[in-house]
Amino acid sequence: MLFLMINNSLFENRVLVAAFLAWAIAQVTKTIYDLFKQRKLVVGRLVSSGGMPSSHSSLVTGLATATGRVAGVGSVAFAVAVVLASIVMYDAAGVRRAVSIQARILNQMIDEAFQGKPFAEKRLRELIGHTPIQVFAGGLLGIVVGLLVTM
């Protein structure tokens, strides 16, 4: 009985629903976008980072938007959500983007250095961060979902 009460309470929490719905929509959109771009379905995209749109940005802007609508833009909760969103979006387009570029360069160096020779090390993941447009698109998606869920 307690599980059902907790379960129902979670699904009635519009702020939480908005955040995770925005994330899920971004992940599905990313997968469909890659399907058209690469002409093959990569199911792993449903849970991976990087790509268009930024699901991290969608999640935190959905959270901030819904928090602002439910608790008010003058609330402490909204302030915390906006600060969190700012950090996550800056990190996605800044630090994580730089890591992606470095991984691509290191993988290229390894390929060139070991041409024709076996190299047992695992390649670095290159799709980690986001371009500013991917962050913007994810943020916009999160705002729209946050508004719709809290209407």
pLDDT of residue 143: 97
pLDDT of residue 119: 57
pLDDT of residue 6: 59
Residues in the chain with pLDDT < 50? none
pLDDT of residue 36: 86
pLDDT of residue 85: 96
pLDDT in tens, 53-79: 999 999 999 999 999 999 999 999 999
pLDDT of residue 123: 57
pLDDT of residue 122: 62
Report the predicted TM-score, pTM, of the whole model to 2 decimal places. 0.75
SS (H, E, C) the chain: CHHHHHHHHHHHCHHHHHHHHHHHHHHHHHHHHHHHHHCCCCHHHHHCCCCCCCHHHHHHHHHHHHHHHHHCCCCHHHHHHHHHHHHHHHHHHCHHHHHHHHHHHHHHHHHHHCCCCCCCCCCCCCCCCCCHHHHHHHHHHHHHHHHHHCC
